[in-house]
Structure 1
Amino acid sequence: MLFSKHPRTVYANAPAHEVICQFRFPTILSINDTEPAAFQDAIREDFPQFIRREDVVPPQMAGMGGPNPQIKQQKPVTNYHFVSADNLWKINLTQNFIALSTLRYTGWEEFASELDKPLAEFIRIYKPAYFERVGLRYVNIISREKLSLRDSAWKELIAPAYLGAMAEEDVREEDVLNSAVDIQCKLDSSCAAKVHAGPGRLRQNRPDAPQDTEVKFILDMDLSMGGQVSCNLSAGGLETLHAHATKLFEGAITDALRTAMQPE
């Protein structure tokens, strides 16, 4: 079962590692050319730290198929970062999108509450015509060590649709070197999802950092709503995506994993 009717449940040991929402809009050039001082003033109490970065844009090929194709270098895109004092919440603003991300997801209500003011102030200050895409992404990392499930096989914890070869009775989990599953599906007439699932190890980028040797299960759910979403319906669109995310997540886990995550 890919989608579950299991009621939404809050878990004491929820596996959400990072949660990100993003609103893409038609390009607003002034964001790239002028420091967003008014926007910073509006949200500085909750996001006091500021970082300005220049994101390199890949070059474009012009004149393809003609006698003189050319490579055109693109102007860098300014990416403004507004970060909370504890470094766990971040707003990103560019000429094409605004996003909220967190490394401390305790529940949907808190996440939506943290978004309310920045999104409202962005709409008030920049007046986007509409949103081209509303996105919500959950990066879930399930650790058997953390949940005291060291002796449990993934097939006891994860639904078969996300296990690939590991779901087969004649396959030993330790013999599978790679069993990633990638799914793209429609959720309704305007919403879709991309899901990546499979076992893996988390790697630290620093060469001197200690490496985690535990094999964890990664369930990366990227949901989106397309079309021209009016600003006054954007929050409702995000709520719709969250409802779909709940059905996907609950459909991906078994009762054994639910119990280990401690329903509240």
Structure 2
Amino acid sequence: MPGAEVSAGVGWLTREPEDRRLSRPPVALVVCQVRHETEYAASDAARALKVRSALDWSTELAESLVQGFNLAVGQFTGVSASQAPSVRGWQLKTPDGAWTVSLQPDHFAIETTQYGGWGEFRNRLGQLAAAVGENVAPALEHRVGLRYVNQITHPDVKRPVDWHQYISPELFQKSLYEGLGDGFRAAMQVIESAPAPDHSMIIRHGLQMDNSGRLTYVLDNDSSRQGSRPFDVQSILESVDLLHLNELRAFEMGTTAALRDYCT
């Protein structure tokens, strides 16, 4: 389905969200990425070890190599491997694989598949940002992004149209899903809005079948702040707090009270 443009200042991006703790959160993945100017100090193993030591949770260090490529566009389009050497980065993973930290010359990121709440995630992000600031020492922050991927299931959903009870009418296209037959596999839509200057919210949402044949609803909210400014840990955390607020607003806009009651 084609993307849709939503104008800035719509009500769902300004109202105060509930922010209640869910006992059955549908969150499948949470990622925060901070992009900065290219600093090859991030490739140094000794600095990666110092970042690892600064974190108060156990991780295993692994090297990652990224190979660039050349794209030629003209009468004939072709892709070839770059002659430049591979760029080295690092991954720090918890022993259970639930948390991953990525250190690259132009960004760092933290992600989890076992989200336990904003307090824990923000605390670990703060430790990581402080460790990068001290040991890699970027001068500029270019972009901060926060993404929540919700994989929603409900026992009462048997057909695509059943989701109308749990997904808000602003998103759910009931007339479309009423006519879907047994051959249906997925339908996704993209919405983009600008909640504030230099901020973006991209919502990818829709139905899909999982590997077990269940009908799930994906609500993938990707919020970001763009624009270069001095690298400062407190400033990064303040930006992320605002992005998190917009994530809550987007989740409430995309779901009904019946679904949130079920997840509580």
Of residues 60, 82, 86, the one that matches 1:76 is 86
C-alpha contact 1:163 1:179 (8 A) present in aligned 2? no
Q: Which residue of 1 aligns with 2:172?
A: 163
Q: Which residue of 1 aligns with 2:5?
A: none
Cα shift at 1:24: 0.3
Of residues 62, 87, 95, the one that matches 1:51 is 62
Q: Which runs of 5+ in 1 are unaligned?
A: 203-210
Residue type of the alignment partner of 1:230: P
In the aligned structure 1, how far is the partner of 2:176 from the partner of 2:95? 49
What is the TM-score when the length of structure 2 is the normalising length? 0.83
- Compared CA separation, residues 11 and 229, structure 1 to 2 (3 A): farther
What percentage of residue pairs aligned between the two structures are identical?
A: 21
Q: Which residue of 1 aligns with 2:249?
A: 247
Post-superposition CA distance 1:68-119 (Å, at most 9, x none): x996714323231111233211110000111010111121111101222121
Q: Which residue of 2 aligns with 1:213?
A: 213
C-alpha contact 1:153 1:173 (8 A) present in aligned 2? no
Residue type of the alignment partner of 1:236: E
Q: Which residue of 2 aligns with 1:188?
A: 196
In the aligned structure 2, how far is the partner of 1:75 from the partner of 1:228? 27
- The count of corresponding residues between Structure 1 and Structure 2 is 245
In the aligned structure 2, how far is the partner of 1:5 from the partner of 1:33? 44
C-alpha contact 1:12 1:261 (8 A) present in aligned 2? yes
- Compared CA separation, residues 90 and 123, structure 1 to 2 (3 A): same
Residue type of the alignment partner of 1:168: S
What is the TM-score when the length of structure 1 is the normalising length? 0.83
C-alpha contact 1:8 1:246 (8 A) present in aligned 2? yes
Residue type of the alignment partner of 1:258: R
In the aligned structure 2, how far is the partner of 1:229 from the partner of 1:109? 26
C-alpha contact 1:131 1:229 (8 A) present in aligned 2? yes
Q: Which residue of 2 aligns with 1:207?
A: none
Residue type of the alignment partner of 1:225: R
Of residues 90, 95, 115, the one that matches 2:100 is 90
Say whether 1:137 aligns with 2:147. yes
Say whether 1:126 aligns with 2:132. no
C-alpha contact 1:157 1:257 (8 A) present in aligned 2? yes
Q: Which moved more, 1:150-159 or 1:92-101?
A: 150-159
- Compared CA separation, residues 81 and 72, structure 1 to 2 (3 A): closer
Q: Which runs of 5+ in 2 are unaligned?
A: 1-10
- Compared CA separation, residues 104 and 70, structure 1 to 2 (3 A): closer
Residue type of the alignment partner of 1:52: E
Cα shift at 1:11: 1.0
